[in-house]
């Protein structure tokens, strides 16, 4: 009984890790890009854990680490809707699970 | 926590440098589908593949979407069919019937290729092996999604020259049977020496008899990423070999980690054990996704120039050294592929007159596979093709490595013509073959004994 509970807890922990995603916004700098993305995330019950941004050769690069555990939307839906938000604002928005970056850059 | 420059680096690799996972290949054992009745055998094969692989393509697409990494191919490899069909196949046409079943189920589950229409005859051919081999031309000309391979030698067994001679004829027949589409059938037929049991890459993929019921093998790629890293390295001044090797190793590590992640996810979601990662630099005809371009970055003007073999040896070794640490299980072919038609840089080197079949043969001593996707004149004799296979097998046998021959004697084409295969198979200039004969050599019959250094017991 104890072990099965432990396994369930471990499983949940693993799923939690799977629920963190990285959103990247790349494009020409313009007013209100962050606001638009944040509004969308708030409406979708997605919590922002970290934001950083940089400007490289006039291109606006932003990265957000977000927590997907409270949202009711499917991952595919998020990807599509964020892409649409990006198209409206004239930037490219991608949403990817965090694991791909962790795997590639951390031993 | 991950920082922004790392995230941007990964996404740049994917968007601008063609980083992708080349294939998720599900290996499926069909040994339990053997039956004395052909129809029953076909039905069991169909049902087992469908049951295990029906979610393969969807799972691949889900993973691709969630991690934002393209997964180019979803494929299946099966137990060599010569074994599976040995109880029920009395004629070559019986084997063709199994092949058509495989083709049908491949279409139903949505994979683009099933590999394993194969026979392993490195020491001798059973009656059934012969039936399967003789059925290959018809099998490949009447199906779209089947890949066939024949293993004619190994370091432990030597080279089965009877099979080598037969394969020369079979390659010619396959070219004739598919002459209406530039002998495309030969692009799906490979002759191997020292074939691994867990190769996820076509056309040589099959699910070896040493494997479990079902397994997920993943082939990674990314020549464009390595090329870009080397260009960046040389921006300030020409780097020495130490830095060159370090750069390739680091890049190979990153590429392979993505493959490992995808393999683990696919295995978990499909509830099938993870087998191996194949650490390969597999080019595509897309500009910038080329192993030839890496060789140019390392410092040769064109692949084929003196220094090419050494550059390729270095590249192959560093890819392995970087990749091995990134994955818990490495297998398959693992190394740099040097196909001609699938690599724009190789095509250009051939067209520029820098690269010949003989130089490619030398390069196969140090790369992961062999003479791959090379178009030769349709008038090349079966004996000459057998001679080429024997040479390549000897390289594999003596060097204890996998070697392969996938050449296409294109019916109606001569040196200087170009052949268009389309898609990932690309296009190829027809290359000259040494015109001198080897008929007396291949006609001897029997087998070449295993080399002395294979006796390690």
- The per-residue pLDDT for range B327-364, each reduced to its tens digit, is 989 988 888 899 999 999 999 999 999 999 999 999 99
List, in order, residues 6 or more apart from B236 with CB less than 8 Å away.
Answer: none
**A105 with B254: Cβ contact below 8 A:** yes
Is residue B158 within 8 A of residue B448, CB to CB? The reply is: yes
pLDDT-derived band of residue B280, with 50, 70 and 90 as boundaries?
confident
Rounded to the nearest integer, the mean pLDDT of chain A is 83
Residues paired with residue A65 on neighbouring β-strands, in sequence order: A22, A50
pLDDT of A2 reads 56
Buried b (16+ CB within 10 A) or exposed e, B227-255: bbbbeebbeeeeeeeeebbebbbebbbbb
What average pLDDT score do residues B104-120 get? 96
pLDDT of B284 reads 87
**B257 with A104: Cβ contact below 8 A:** yes
Residue A13 in domain: no
B7/A contact by beta carbon, under 8 A:
yes
Residue A41 in domain: yes
Residue B53: burial class (beta carbons within 10 Å; 0-12, 13-18, 19+): buried
Residue A8 in domain: no
pLDDT at B209 over 80: yes
**A24 with B1: Cβ contact below 8 A:** no
Residues paired with residue B107 on neighbouring β-strands, in sequence order: none
pLDDT of B275 reads 94
What average pLDDT score do residues B108-128 get? 96
Residue A91 in domain: yes
**B8 with A24: Cβ contact below 8 A:** yes
A54/B contact by beta carbon, under 8 A:
yes
B69/A contact by beta carbon, under 8 A:
yes
Total Cβ atoms within 10 A of residue A88: 10
pLDDT of B23 reads 92
Whether the predicted interface score ipTM is above 0.90: no
What average pLDDT score do residues B125-129 get? 96
Which of the pair, B426 or B405, is modelled with greater confidence? B405
CA separation for the pair B407, B253 (Å, rounded): 32
pLDDT of A14 reads 47
What average pLDDT score do residues A32-37 get? 88
pLDDT at A7 over 80: no
CA atoms within 13 A on the CB side of B64: 18
pLDDT of A18 reads 61
Residue A97 in domain: yes
pTM metric for this prediction: 0.90
**A24 with B258: Cβ contact below 8 A:** no
pLDDT of A8 reads 52
Interface of A with B in 26-45 (CB under 8 A): 26
Q: Which domain holds residue A31?
A: 19-105
**A98 with B2: Cβ contact below 8 A:** yes
What average pLDDT score do residues B254-258 get? 93
List, edge to edge, every strand of the sheet that includes A59-67.
A47-56, A59-67, A20-28, A91-97
What average pLDDT score do residues B26-36 get? 95
What average pLDDT score do residues B236-264 get? 93
List, in order, residues 6 or more apart from B259 with CB less than 8 Å away.
Answer: B21, B218, B219, B220, B277, B279, B326, B327
Which of the pair, B388 or B288, is modelled with greater confidence? B388
pLDDT at B368 over 90: no
How far apart are the CA of B5 and the nearest CA of chain A, in angstroms? 9
How far apart are the CA of B6 and the nearest CA of chain A, in angstroms? 7
pLDDT-derived band of residue B1, with 50, 70 and 90 as boundaries?
confident
pLDDT-derived band of residue A58, with 50, 70 and 90 as boundaries?
confident
Residue A12 in domain: no
pLDDT at B286 over 50: yes
Residue A57 in domain: yes
> Element (H or E) spanning A93, and its range?
strand A91-97
Which of the pair, B72 or A31, is modelled with greater confidence? B72
Token couple for B89: 């196949």
pLDDT, tens digit, 9 for 90 and up, residues B411-457: 999 998 999 988 778 888 999 999 999 999 999 999 999 999 988 88
Which of the pair, A37 or A11, is modelled with greater confidence? A37
What average pLDDT score do residues B241-251 get? 95
- Count of A–B CB contacts within 8 Å? 62
Look at residues A18, A4, A23 and name the one whose alpha carbon lies nearest to residue A66: A23
What domains are there in chain B, each with its CATH number? 232-246+282-447 (3.20.70.20)
pLDDT of A16 reads 46
pLDDT of A13 reads 45
How far apart are the CA of B286 and the nearest CA of chain A, in angstroms? 23
Q: What's the angle, vertex CA B284, arms to CA B258 and CA B215, rounded to 5?
A: 45
What average pLDDT score do residues B216-244 get? 92
**A61 with B8: Cβ contact below 8 A:** yes
Which of the pair, B284 or B32, is modelled with greater confidence? B32
The closest CB to that of A104, out of B1, B4, B258, belongs to: B258
Token couple for B209: 């008899």
Domain count, chain A: 1
B258 CB neighbours in chain A (<8 A) are 100, 103-104
Is residue B239 within 8 A of residue B247, CB to CB? The reply is: yes
Write the CATH number for A81.
Answer: 3.30.70.260
CA separation for the pair B263, B279 (Å, rounded): 12
The closest CB to that of A103, out of B66, B68, B260, belongs to: B260
pLDDT of A12 reads 47
Q: Answer left, alpha or beta for residue B288, where phi above 0 means left and psi between -120 and 50 means alpha.
A: left
The CA-to-CA distance between both ends of chain A, in Å, stands at 34
Which letter does DSSP use for residue B198 in this model? Answer: T
CA separation for the pair A13, B441 (Å, rounded): 65
Residue A10 in domain: no
Which of the pair, B247 or A16, is modelled with greater confidence? B247
pLDDT at A9 over 60: no
pLDDT, tens digit, 9 for 90 and up, residues B153-179: 999 999 999 999 999 999 999 999 999
């Amino acid at each position: 009984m104890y072990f099965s509970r432990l396994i369930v807890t471990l499983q949940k922990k693993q799923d939690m890790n799977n629920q963190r995603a990285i959103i990247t916004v790349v494009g020409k700098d313009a007013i209100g890009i962050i606001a638009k993305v944040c509004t969308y995330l708030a409406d979708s019950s997605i919590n922002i854990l970290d934001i950083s941004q940089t400007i490289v050769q006039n291109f606006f690069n932003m990265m957000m680490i977000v927590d997907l555990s409270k949202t009711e939307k499917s991952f595919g839906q998020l990807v599509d809707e964020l892409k649409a938000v990006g198209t409206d604002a004239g930037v490219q928005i991608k949403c990817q699970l965090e694991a791909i970056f962790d795997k590639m850059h951390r031993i | 926590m991950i920082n922004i420059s790392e995230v941007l680096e990964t996404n740049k690799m994917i968007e601008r440098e063609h980083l992708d996972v080349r294939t998720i290949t599900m290996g499926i054992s069909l040994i339990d589908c053997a039956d004395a009745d052909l129809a029953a055998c076909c039905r069991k094969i169909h049902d087992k593949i469908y049951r295990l692989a029906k979610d393969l393509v969807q799972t691949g697409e889900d993973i691709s979407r969630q991690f934002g990494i393209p997964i180019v191919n979803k494929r299946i490899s099966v137990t060599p069919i010569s074994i599976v069909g040995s109880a029920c196949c009395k004629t070559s046409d019986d084997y063709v019937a199994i092949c058509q079943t495989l083709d049908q189920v491949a279409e139903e589950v949505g994979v683009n290729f099933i590999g394993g229409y194969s026979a392993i005859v490195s020491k001798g051919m059973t009656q059934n092996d012969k039936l399967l081999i003789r059925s290959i031309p018809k099998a490949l000309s009447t199906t779209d999604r089947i890949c066939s391979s024949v293993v004619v030698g190994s370091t432990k067994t030597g080279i089965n020259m009877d099979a080598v001679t037969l394969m020369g004829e079979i390659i010619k027949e396959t070219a004739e049977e598919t002459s209406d589409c530039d002998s495309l059938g030969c692009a799906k037929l490979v002759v191997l020496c020292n074939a691994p049991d867990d190769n996820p890459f076509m056309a040589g993929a099959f699910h070896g008899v040493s494997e479990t019921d079902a397994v997920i093998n993943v082939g990674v790629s990314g020549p464009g990423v390595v090329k870009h890293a080397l260009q960046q390295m040389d921006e300030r001044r020409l780097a020495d070999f130490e830095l060159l090797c370090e750069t390739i190793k680091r890049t190979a590590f990153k590429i392979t980690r993505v493959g490992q992640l995808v393999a683990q996810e696919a295995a978990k979601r499909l509830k099938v054990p993870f087998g191996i990662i194949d650490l390969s630099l597999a080019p595509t005809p897309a500009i910038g996704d080329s192993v030839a371009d890496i060789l140019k970055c390392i410092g040769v003007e064109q692949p084929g120039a003196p220094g090419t073999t050494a550059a390729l040896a270095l590249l192959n070794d560093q890819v392995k050294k970087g990749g091995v640490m990134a994955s818990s299980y490495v297998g398959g072919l693992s190394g740099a592929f040097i196909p001609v038609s699938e690599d724009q840089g190789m095509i250009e080197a051939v067209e520029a007159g820098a690269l010949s079949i003989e130089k490619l043969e030398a390069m196969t001593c140090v790369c992961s596979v062999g003479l791959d996707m090379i178009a030769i004149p349709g008038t090349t004799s079966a004996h000459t093709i057998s001679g080429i296979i024997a040479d390549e097998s000897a390289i594999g046998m003596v060097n204890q490595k996998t070697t392969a021959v996938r050449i296409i004697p294109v019916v109606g084409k001569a040196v200087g013509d170009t052949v268009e295969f389309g898609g990932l198979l690309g296009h190829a200039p027809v290359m000259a073959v040494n015109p001198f004969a080897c008929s007396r050599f291949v006609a001897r019959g029997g087998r070449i004994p295993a080399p002395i250094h294979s006796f390690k017991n």
